Amino acid sequence: MRQWESSEERYENKTAMYDRFINERLLAFIPAGSQVLDVGCSTGRFGEKLIRDKNCRVYGVDISARAIEQAKERLTAAVRTDIEREGLPFENRMFDVIVMADVLEHLVHPEAIVDIAKERLKPESFMLVSIPNVANIRIRLRLLFGQWRYTRSGILDSTHLHFYTPKTAVEFFEQLGFVVAEIAATPGFDFVIGKWRMFRGITDRMCQVYPRLFANQFIFVLRPKKML
C-alpha cells in the first residue's frame, strides 16, 4: 500500500473484492422488517439480501464513491460519507439495527463512531458488529516466528488500524456503555471456505470447541445499557 493514498483511495481499490462477498452469518441476527443502517455497506449486496429476503429497509453509508453508486441501486438509500469527518448521515432517522461489519478496525477513532451510532438506535434495538480475531492461531504462529506482515485482505489487512481479541473487544464495548448480549464466532468467510466445502464441517467444529484460537472473526450483539 502506498503511504500517500487517501482513505477513500484505499477503499476504492477494494470495492471489486468486497462486492463478491456477503457475510451470511450476520443475516440471521437481523429481524424481518427491520429498519437497518449499514455502516460500511460497500456496494450494498448485504443490504440488498436483507431487503429481498427479510423485507427490511436498509440505509447504507460508505467512503467509496464507486461502491455507493452501486449501493444506490440496491438499497433503500445510500450516501457516500467519510464518517470520521462527517459523522453518520440520515440524521432524522432512528434504526432497529445498526450494522458495522468489519468497520471499526479501519477507523482512527472507532469509539467516537460507536458513540454516535448508539444515539441513533430505537429503544430495544441493537448494534451488530463484526471484528477480525487477531488472536487466531495463524497470527499466533506467525508471531512465534517473529513475523507480522500486512496483507491485501484478512486479519492483517493493510488498512487495519486497530486489532482486537474477544476479551479486548468486550472491554472496549463495555467502556462505551454497551452490554454484549451475544457473541458468535465465525471460522472463515464463506467465499474462502466455499472453495473447500469438504473442510467446512471441520473448521466449524474447531471454531466451536476453541473459538478464541480458531475463529477468524467474532460477531457481537450490542445493546446500550440504558435499554436493558
Orientation of helix 65-74 relative to helix 45-54, angle to 10° = 10
Q: Are 75 and 58 in contact (CB under 8 A)?
A: yes
All structural domains of the chain, each given as residue ranges with its CATH number in brackets, are 7-223 (3.40.50.150)
Tell which residue, 14, 17, 19, has the closest CA to residue 1: 14
What is the bridge-based pairing of β-strands 217-224 and 121-132?
antiparallel
Residue 6 has pLDDT above 80, yes or no: no
Question: C-alpha distances in angstroms, 152 versus 21, 22, 196, 202?
Answer: 15, 18, 21, 26
On average, the pLDDT of the chain sits at: 87
Residue 211 has pLDDT above 50, yes or no: yes
Tell which residue, 105, 104, 121, has the closest CA to residue 113: 104
Average pLDDT over residues 213-224: 92
Average pLDDT over residues 189-208: 60
Q: Where are the beta strands (DSSP E) in the chain?
A: 35-39, 57-62, 77-80, 95-101, 121-132, 178-186, 217-224
pLDDT band at 12 (very low <50, low <70, confident <90, very high): low
> pLDDT digit string (tens) for 148-191?
999 888 888 988 999 999 999 999 999 999 999 999 998 864 44
Percentage of residues in the chain with pLDDT exceeding 70? 83
Residue 192 has pLDDT above 90, yes or no: no
- The predicted structure's pLDDT at residue 7: 54
**What's the grid cell of residue 203?**
473448521
- The predicted structure's pLDDT at residue 190: 43
pLDDT band at 194 (very low <50, low <70, confident <90, very high): very low
81-111 per-residue burial string, b: 16 or more CB within 10 A, e: under 16: bebeeeebbbeeeebbbbbbbbbbbbbeebe
> pLDDT digit string (tens) for 57-77?
999 999 999 999 999 999 999
pLDDT band at 204 (very low <50, low <70, confident <90, very high): confident
Tell which residue, 129, 11, 130, 19, has the closest CA to residue 71: 19
User: pTM of the entire structure?
Assistant: 0.86
